[in-house]
Amino acid sequence: MPQRSRDHHRGYEPEWEDRQKKPDRHRYRDDSYDYEYDDDDIIDAEERRYEDGGVDEYDDNDGGYDDYEGEEESEVIVVDSRPNFARPPNVRASPRRASPPPYMGGRERSRQHKAKESPATSPAKKRDRERDREGHRRRRDSTADEDGPVGARLRERVAREKYREKDIADVRARSKDERKRSVQRDRARERERERVREKHASSGSANSATQLLSADALSKLNKYNAKRDAAERQREAKDEQRSRDKDKRRRKKEGFFVGKSRDRGTSREGGREKSKRRLVSGAMMEEGRGPELRVRGGGRHGQKWREDDRDGGGGGGGGGRGGKWFSNWSKKKKILVIVGILALLLIIIIPVGVVVSKKKDDEGGSAGHGDGDAPSNDNLKEIDRDSIPQSARGTYLDPFTWYDTADFNVTYTDETVGGLPVMGLNAAWDDSAQANEHVPPLNKRFPYGKQPIRGVSVGGWLSLEPFITPSFFKKYSVHDNVVDEYTLTRRLASSAKPTLEKHYATFITERSFREIRDAGLDHVRIPYSYWAVKKFDDEPYVEQVSFRYLLRAIEYCRKYGLRVSLDLHGLPGSQNGWNHSGRHGVIGWLNGPDGDKNAQRSLDIHDQLSKFFAQPRYKNVVTLYGLANEPLMLKLPIEPVIDWTKKAAEIVEKNGMKQHIVFGDGFLKLSKWKTILQDTGHSLLLDTHQYTIFNTELIGLEHKKKLEFVCDGWVELLSDSNSKGTGWGPTICGEWSQADTDCARYLNNVGVGTRWTGTMDSPSAKDQVSEPLCPAAKSGNGKACSCDGANADPSEYSDAYKKFLLTYAEAQMSAFEKGWGWFYWTWETESAVQWSWRRGLEAGILPKKAYEPSFKCGDTLPELVICRSTISALWCVGTCNIYCGTWSESWDVLHACDILEL
């Protein structure tokens, strides 16, 4: 079947005055157009109450009055209502008012009989009538078989009848509005005419001045009134025309079409378009099938229907209607376009949101690698608020004030042990879990001294440390001086508790301990500070809340077979003056005017803690108990520190603790401890923290030298200290890291630079370093030291750098296992990859299982890329940049790299 084309012809109603001047033409369908309707089809039954030639009685109060302006202009009515005996001889009586023609609204006023048909019915009309009697449509597809089935044409007729009915309803509505406006205008004109007549014609004797007027004066008066009436009619005609023009513009804007037609004329040969019929006179013209009759009013007298394509009209594909193209779209098309735009926006927004969210997870907020930020409080549904005594509401013992209640026992109890509440603990526990096949389950003794500890700390969690969670500190300016937990909580004031409790609930979660076990680790060191028990004076710390999360963390460790080392990280007054003790600055523990008071407060804290953890439920899971983290014995008097350590150990053991008691080396040389605290009778364990980056002599070593130092120097150091014959005895490395620079943000304190770049010259810095100490600077080759490489995303690390970091970590693990083992610092950070075991594991710079390293000291060192100042090798400059700075083409000598067998 040849293709059929369809144009949608759209037009507007002709002027009613034009219709009044010419006879209405009844149009029949032809093969080229949709079914049309005559004006008679849209006139309500109510309007047909007036028949042709019928005349009703005219009522003066009736508002219906036809506008016969022509007759009014040609005839002057002289009104004289005086009785005959009082009327002058030359004045004729008032004529009887003629009844106006009946009201005929809208198109009915101009309706006339349609023209008679041709004496002989045309063949086309005859054929149409025969098809009507058979139930077929008059209009048929010119390409269809006349003798074929008519089902398709009937379906088409039903569809078009629907559009026809809609158009008729729209036209009726508009005609009704126009009739109403016409009636209103007629009534207004009639009222004005009545006013004028009453002014100049009255039957009362009081207004008898017209008796004195001559016929000539009356004629002039009538001409004046007629002229004024004509001007009024002209003004009203202009107003009506403006109203019609406004209505046309509105209909044009809304795309209101009262009918449609369709051109169907594709050629059967070669797709050439042509007209299907000849234009002739006679029957075809009478039947309305001439092209000039496609418009209302006929021929050129009416306004032609505009042919407008659905896609925008015009002659091409560009949408000839300009800004109106969208309004001509179908509702379905508009919805599809809008949905497409929204989908495109989502495609753009979602990846951006994921990237931003990931960046926030890495750099900001306290939401660490947990199971989610949303707290879980489902177990509170089973608790009646009335079960909480009034005196306990809003306190530590009220579970309805806790941010997160997951895995806590929320049944109220005021029971305490050592003055510390047991609220939150479950009554039963199970110590049968095993971290991995290389260590015994919790209910079996761990062979300390024979099997190394392989553990990790959860630093920056219950005791804040700026470089681990910089998001808490970077929002403040230098002038705010927010540099530690003391100044932070003072600044947060009343919001400190909810802020830090959210951090406690999300930074380290059950998932963290499960992943620690899966990483092949078997011990967890949990740092916490004294305000988990109590705070003193007017300190701003958040009191006790962290103690609840400490207890839950121990239960998670129990669940996954991990043994715990408790580490009191901050003591009253600060034992070292560093930010991770709680307060940066002056050392107030065993030093200064309150030194002794703070020392006693520390002993009281241990008295409570040791009583609590001496409970049977902790004997298998809490196996190491720390007294004080990193007391700075380089600035503290040594004897008072040793005496305090003895007192603290006595208190702990007296309270029933059977665990190993850990004390720090105070940054003294391990060899000095050979004769200190010997033969105390306590189960003591010496804790040493070893880093190359905090030593100005070691940080600038080339990578090969660092590996040699670890495998030679630290292996010997730990071996000697761990033996009673050559050192103090049982020794463990409680902190270490694979970082080979001190470039991590806030590592040396908030607002302080680095040794690596020589910018550590702040008064608050531990050491004053104003000269860069990176290997390039020490070699004197003129290259600048940079932290960009070390702080870059691990995905940007070269394979050689990753290999070094992995070897550097495994070498330290090997050295520290010459003693009792090690705890890595730390498990989680917001951004410092080389300080996070979890992030290092993901980056491939730490062994997949802690108990299966690929390198041990004594093995042949792998091939490594190291910096040289005399080798020219462009292909390894990029790798060398990580350590030696940025390469520049302006250098006279290329400071490149060399691959050596080390």
| DSSP assignment of 132-149 | HHTT--S---TTS-TTS-
Phi and psi at residue 249, to the nearest 5°: -60, -40
- 55: in domain: no
Q: DSSP H helical segments within 85-214, as ranges?
A: 123-133, 151-200
What is the per-residue pLDDT across 547-557, written as a single tens digit (0 to 9) for each? 999 999 999 99
What is the per-residue pLDDT across 655-665, written as a single tens digit (0 to 9) for each? 999 999 999 99
Q: Are residues 181 and 237 in the same domain?
A: yes
Taking residue 247's Cβ as centre, other Cβ atoms within 10 Å add up to: 17
Tokens 């951090």 — which residue?
503
What is the per-residue pLDDT across 203-212, written as a single tens digit (0 to 9) for each? 444 444 444 5
Q: Are residues 186 and 290 in the same domain?
A: yes
pLDDT of 768 over the 90 cut: no
- 456: in domain: no
- 860: in domain: no
Closest by CA position to 572, among listed 664, 486, 493, 638: 486
Q: Are residues 295 and 189 in the same domain?
A: yes
- 215: in domain: yes
Closest by CA position to 558, among listed 638, 617, 630: 617
Confidence (pLDDT) at 185: 83
CA distances from 646 to 3, 418, 639 (A): 104, 21, 11
Q: Are residues 67 and 207 in the same domain?
A: yes
Q: Are residues 177 and 246 in the same domain?
A: yes
What is the per-residue pLDDT across 536-548, written as a single tens digit (0 to 9) for each? 999 999 999 999 9
Q: Report how far residue 646's alpha carbon sits from residue 643's, in angstroms, rounded to the nearest whole number.
A: 5
Quick one: CA torsion of 447, 448, 454, 456, rounded to 10 degrees? 130
- 279: in domain: yes
Dihedral sign from CA coordinates of 289, 292, 294, 295: negative
Q: DSSP H helical segments within 258-414, as ranges?
A: 283-286, 331-363
Contacts of 500 (CB under 8 A, 6+ apart): 464, 489, 542, 545, 546
Helix (H, G, I), strand (E, B) or coil at 732: strand
Structure tokens, 730? 């049982």
What is the per-residue pLDDT across 698-754, written as a single tens digit (0 to 9) for each? 999 999 999 999 999 999 999 999 999 999 999 999 999 999 999 999 999 999 999
Q: Are residues 294 and 260 in the same domain?
A: yes
Q: Report how far residue 836's alpha carbon sits from residue 744's, in angstroms, rounded to the nearest whole number.
A: 12
What is the per-residue pLDDT across 380-391, written as a single tens digit (0 to 9) for each? 999 999 999 999
- 22: in domain: yes
Q: Report how far residue 788's alpha carbon sits from residue 796's, in angstroms, rounded to the nearest whole number.
A: 11
What is the per-residue pLDDT across 867-893, written as a single tens digit (0 to 9) for each? 444 333 433 444 444 444 433 333 333
Q: Are residues 21 and 89 in the same domain?
A: yes
Q: Which residues are catalytic?
A: 630, 735
Q: DSSP H helical segments within 544-692, as ranges?
A: 545-559, 595-613, 638-654
Structure tokens, 789? 């490489």
Tokens 């993901």 — which residue?
842
Residue 279, domain extent? 9-47+62-116+131-141+151-308
Tokens 């407008």 — which residue?
308
Phi and psi at residue 421, to the nearest 5°: -70, 145
Tokens 């440390």 — which residue?
465
Closest by CA position to 849, among listed 436, 512, 368: 436
Dihedral sign from CA coordinates of 29, 33, 35, 36: negative
CA distances from 528 to 81, 531, 541 (A): 118, 8, 13
186 band by pLDDT with thresholds 50, 70 and 90: confident
Helix (H, G, I), strand (E, B) or coil at 892: coil
The secondary structure of residue 93, as a DSSP letter, is P
Structure tokens, 758? 């020589």
Confidence (pLDDT) at 216: 72
Quick one: CA torsion of 850, 742, 818, 514, rounded to 10 degrees? -30
Over range 520-546, report the average pLDDT: 98
Query: What burial letters (b/e) apply to 500-532, b meaning 16+ CB within 10 Å?
Result: bbbbbbbbbbbebbebbbebbbbbbbbbbbbbb
The secondary structure of residue 297, as a DSSP letter, is T
Tokens 């009619």 — which residue?
233
Over range 842-867, report the average pLDDT: 88
Strand partners, 217: none
CA angle 48, 49, 53 (to 5 degrees): 90
Contact between 588 and 574 (Cβ < 8 Å): yes
- 626: in domain: no
CA angle 58, 63, 64 (to 5 degrees): 65
Helix (H, G, I), strand (E, B) or coil at 856: coil
793 band by pLDDT with thresholds 50, 70 and 90: very high
- Helix crossing, 545-559 with 496-506: angle to 10°? 10
Strand partners, 9: 307
- CA–chain centroid gap for 788, Å, is 31
Q: Are residues 104 and 136 in the same domain?
A: yes
Q: Report how far residue 396's alpha carbon sits from residue 660's, in angstroms, rounded to the nearest whole number.
A: 31
The more confidently predicted of residues 56 and 798 is 798
pLDDT of 894 over the 90 cut: no
Q: Report how far residue 197's alpha carbon sits from residue 203's, in angstroms, rounded to the nearest whole number.
A: 12
Percent above pLDDT 90 for the chain? 50
Strand partners, 493: none
Helix (H, G, I), strand (E, B) or coil at 866: strand
Q: Are residues 262 and 335 in the same domain?
A: no
Q: Are residues 340 and 239 in the same domain?
A: no
Closest by CA position to 835, among listed 805, 813, 864: 805
594 band by pLDDT with thresholds 50, 70 and 90: very high
Confidence (pLDDT) at 581: 98
Q: Are residues 200 and 273 in the same domain?
A: yes
- Pairing type for strands 416-417 and 864-867 reads unpaired
Quick one: CA torsion of 597, 599, 601, 605, rounded to 10 degrees? 180
Q: Report how far residue 206's alpha carbon sits from residue 193's, in angstroms, rounded to the nearest whole number.
A: 22
The secondary structure of 246-296 as a DSSP string is HHHHHHHHHT--S-------B-SSTT-B--SS---STHHHHTT-SGGGGST
The secondary structure of 658-705 as a DSSP string is -SEEEEE-TT--GGGGGGSS-S-SS-EEEEEE--STTSTTTTT--HHH
The secondary structure of residue 120, as a DSSP letter, is S
- Pairing type for strands 306-307 and 563-570 reads unpaired
Taking residue 86's Cβ as centre, other Cβ atoms within 10 Å add up to: 10
Q: Report how far residue 447's alpha carbon sits from residue 451's, in angstroms, rounded to the nearest whole number.
A: 6
Over range 320-346, report the average pLDDT: 75
Q: Report how far residue 564's alpha carbon sits from residue 622's, in angstroms, rounded to the nearest whole number.
A: 5
Length of the chain: 902
Q: Are residues 212 and 275 in the same domain?
A: yes
250 band by pLDDT with thresholds 50, 70 and 90: confident
| Number of domains present in the structure of the chain | 2
The more confidently predicted of residues 807 and 299 is 807
pLDDT of 652 over the 50 cut: yes
Taking residue 610's Cβ as centre, other Cβ atoms within 10 Å add up to: 23
Strand partners, 307: 9
Phi and psi at residue 453, to the nearest 5°: -80, 130
User: According to the per-residue pLDDT averaged within each range, which of 347-351, 672-676, 836-840 is highest?
Assistant: 836-840
- 347: in domain: yes
Q: Is 688 exposed, middle or buried (0-12, 13-18, 19+ CB in 10 A)?
A: buried
CA angle 780, 782, 787 (to 5 degrees): 100
Query: What burial letters (b/e) apply to 705-716, b meaning 16+ CB within 10 Å?
Result: ebbbbbbeebbe
